[in-house]
A and B are shown apart, each in its own frame.
Chain A
């Protein structure tokens, strides 16, 4: 099988697994909500990877925009209008707007300085969510609201009580987002980002406005992560400042690196393994942290390019 058809087969296999998940998950000791969680966090990790793996820029503050997406949803449903689609729109708008504002401030920085600055901004948002108790209820989070069933006029999708229905709603949003990301990455814009990743100085010499591209990549990446955040709030019927914290950002980075930064589906695999492993092991032993930690160590030692990196390498050779 040549490279292109191998990749298509891989894509098809992944979609098949995702579409049928609610039906086979329970038979292997999982549960539908776990699948939903994997999809949402995989979307966040893939969004981060748009910036990290494909533009070569590390952000450690993506949780801020993820969290803003989540808070947007929670506050809309709780305080404004109890409508799921509207809530998602508000959440995504909030996350993306914040990213668009922060972007120009940090676009000049590179490397670890860029990353630390994203942490700084992220922590400022975290602090605001934590302190503004009158609006966000501080560390206790926003509770006593829930996702509203989707009313299509002719039919209603009960995403509140029907966990399979919610899973498929999330899958549809995930698919749309992923398709958009893939489209962007294959476009000339996406190719430019790859060029910047490979050799920024050369890209600059070619006349590419590097800072502007990085800013755009940043905003796009945060746009998709805020979608993930919106879905996250809907899944939990709850949001608290922890969704904005740097350790949440760290989780996204870990998932992307674990699965393979240079691969499109890498973060999905990373998220799936990370979440399933943690979920499964923590049910069986108090010492789950040792096993999960050991797993990370082993992956770094034996999978130099993340888990999907192995498959990619074999395909090339």
Chain B
């Protein structure tokens, strides 16, 4: 029994890493621009499908490299044309618009690639498990955790070491002052959105190896991402990371005792956190 729980904690961290990747992208966009991107799952799907399409030309690794950037580029276009009009308005409008966008993306991917689930081939050496005991540590899942860690590290470096990152962090605190200081806020928001979508695209490429590749692939990941952000605390990226990991572990451990509750437990977790500590685990007082 203890072993089972331990296994599930470890496995939960793996799944949690994946949730965290999604949630971080969502959090970036929410923090700077106040936009609730309900289409995040749709961008995940786009990332997955682009990777699938690219594999015959550039192979698995080429697709892994290129697809998130392409997705981010699409995200930047979407921001320029649509999202930009939402700034300054009630966040509910961003919800409605991105919800409509999510519909369009789902239908669009179905139209282009079909409703059938497409077979996504991962390289042979990644497929097998690394240990007979810890059989759930497959090469692919470990690879995924490594990639998420690299992405998080990369994000951290961007945010702390580059000018763009500095501006994003400053903008999250006070966008108006930043604008007065001469920073082009439009471009900043645009790039920030692109960064967030890059993470969704990357999550999509990773998901394609684990889940069935069909237009609804992103659907079940939207809610856990929001919950991760809230549990971790709005406005806090480390909080989002922690939130994602926590949800993954909670879900995994619950499966041991009550498998049907594994989906519901994250909501219970969120309710408990909100009632005890309304700003989330690592959130700042007074935000939102």
A, B assembled together: yes
Q: Taking the complex as formed, is A287 at the interface, i.e. its CB lies under 8 A from any CB of chain B? A: yes
Chain A interface residue number, banded:
35 or more
Contact A127 B264 (CB under 8 A): yes
Interface digits, B248-288 against A, CB 8 Å rule (1 contact, 0 not)? 00000000000011011001101100110011000000001
CA A292 to CA B275, docked complex, whole Å: 37
Measured CB to CB, the closest approach of chain B to A198, in angstroms, equals 14
Q: Taking the complex as formed, is A293 at the interface, i.e. its CB lies under 8 A from any CB of chain B? A: yes
Neighbouring B residues of A296 by C-beta, 8 Å:
96-97, 99-100, 103
* Most interface-central of A123, A126, A130, A294 (chain B CB within 10 A): A123
CA A112 to CA B102, docked complex, whole Å: 21
Given contacts A290-B107, A293-B102, contact A117 B96 (CB under 8 A): no
* Most interface-central of B89, B104, B108 (chain A CB within 10 A): B104
Neighbouring A residues of B7 by C-beta, 8 Å:
none
Measured CB to CB, the closest approach of chain B to A92, in angstroms, equals 25
Interface digits, A101-137 against B, CB 8 Å rule (1 contact, 0 not)? 0000110110111001101110110110011000000
Q: Taking the complex as formed, is B9 at the interface, i.e. its CB lies under 8 A from any CB of chain A? A: no
Contact A297 B104 (CB under 8 A): yes
Measured CB to CB, the closest approach of chain A to B125, in angstroms, equals 39
Contact B267 A119 (CB under 8 A): yes
Q: Across the interface, name the chain B residue whose C-beta is closest to A116.
A: B230
Q: Taking the complex as formed, is B82 at the interface, i.e. its CB lies under 8 A from any CB of chain A? A: yes
Contact A289 B96 (CB under 8 A): no
- Which of B92, B96, B230 has a CB less than 8 Å from the CB of A58? B92
CA A31 to CA B202, docked complex, whole Å: 46
Contact A112 B288 (CB under 8 A): yes
CA A288 to CA B82, docked complex, whole Å: 21
Contact B261 A294 (CB under 8 A): no
Contact A124 B264 (CB under 8 A): yes
Interface residues of B in 92-117 (CB under 8 A from A): 92-93, 95-97, 99-104, 106-108, 111
Q: Across the interface, name the chain A residue whose C-beta is closest to B89.
A: A304
Measured CB to CB, the closest approach of chain B to A132, in angstroms, equals 11
Q: Taking the complex as formed, is A253 at the interface, i.e. its CB lies under 8 A from any CB of chain B? A: yes
Interface residues of A in 197-223 (CB under 8 A from B): none
Contact A108 B278 (CB under 8 A): yes
Measured CB to CB, the closest approach of chain A to B31, in angstroms, equals 12
Q: Taking the complex as formed, is B226 at the interface, i.e. its CB lies under 8 A from any CB of chain A? A: yes
Contact B96 A257 (CB under 8 A): yes
Measured CB to CB, the closest approach of chain A to B189, in angstroms, equals 17
Q: Taking the complex as formed, is A189 at the interface, i.e. its CB lies under 8 A from any CB of chain B? A: no
Neighbouring A residues of B111 by C-beta, 8 Å:
287, 290
Interface residues of A in 287-308 (CB under 8 A from B): 287-290, 292-297, 299-301, 304
Given contacts A111-B288, A293-B104, contact A301 B268 (CB under 8 A): no
Q: Taking the complex as formed, is B142 at the interface, i.e. its CB lies under 8 A from any CB of chain A? A: no
Q: Taking the complex as formed, is B221 at the interface, i.e. its CB lies under 8 A from any CB of chain A? A: no
Neighbouring A residues of B227 by C-beta, 8 Å:
116
Interface residues of B in 102-154 (CB under 8 A from A): 102-104, 106-108, 111
Q: Across the interface, name the chain A residue whose C-beta is closest to B108.
A: A290
Q: Across the interface, name the chain A residue whose C-beta is closest to B270.
A: A120
Neighbouring A residues of B264 by C-beta, 8 Å:
123-124, 126-127
CA A113 to CA B107, docked complex, whole Å: 31
Measured CB to CB, the closest approach of chain A to B225, in angstroms, equals 12
Contact B99 A250 (CB under 8 A): yes
Interface residues of A in 75-113 (CB under 8 A from B): 105-106, 108-109, 111-113
Q: Taking the complex as formed, is A246 at the interface, i.e. its CB lies under 8 A from any CB of chain B? A: yes
Q: Taking the complex as formed, is A273 at the interface, i.e. its CB lies under 8 A from any CB of chain B? A: no
Given contacts A257-B96, A292-B100, contact A301 B82 (CB under 8 A): yes
* Most interface-central of B111, B264, B271 (chain A CB within 10 A): B271
Q: Taking the complex as formed, is A258 at the interface, i.e. its CB lies under 8 A from any CB of chain B? A: yes
Contact A297 B101 (CB under 8 A): yes
CA A130 to CA B258, docked complex, whole Å: 13
Given contacts A116-B270, A120-B271, A246-B223, contact A109 B278 (CB under 8 A): yes
CA A120 to CA B260, docked complex, whole Å: 17
Q: Taking the complex as formed, is B85 at the interface, i.e. its CB lies under 8 A from any CB of chain A? A: yes
Interface residues of B in 217-253 (CB under 8 A from A): 223, 226-227, 230, 234
Q: Across the interface, name the chain A residue whose C-beta is closest to B215.
A: A289
- Which of B89, B226, B268, B275 has a CB less than 8 Å from the CB of A124? B268
Measured CB to CB, the closest approach of chain A to B90, in angstroms, equals 8
Neighbouring A residues of B223 by C-beta, 8 Å:
246
Q: Taking the complex as formed, is B185 at the interface, i.e. its CB lies under 8 A from any CB of chain A? A: no
Q: Taking the complex as formed, is A275 at the interface, i.e. its CB lies under 8 A from any CB of chain B? A: no
Q: Across the interface, name the chain B residue whose C-beta is closest to A304.
A: B89
Neighbouring B residues of A130 by C-beta, 8 Å:
260
Neighbouring A residues of B108 by C-beta, 8 Å:
290
Contact A124 B103 (CB under 8 A): no
CA A299 to CA B271, docked complex, whole Å: 33
* Given A117-B270, A299-B96, 5 additional A-B pairs, CB 8 A: A123-B267, A124-B264, A290-B104, A295-B100, A300-B97
For the complex of A and B, list the 4 residue pairs with the smallest distance between their C-beta atoms, beginning with the closest.
A296-B100, A293-B103, A120-B271, A127-B264
A-B contact pairs, 16 of them (CB 8 A): A58-B92, A106-B275, A112-B288, A116-B227, A117-B270, A121-B271, A124-B267, A124-B268, A253-B95, A257-B93, A258-B96, A293-B101, A293-B104, A293-B107, A296-B96, A300-B93
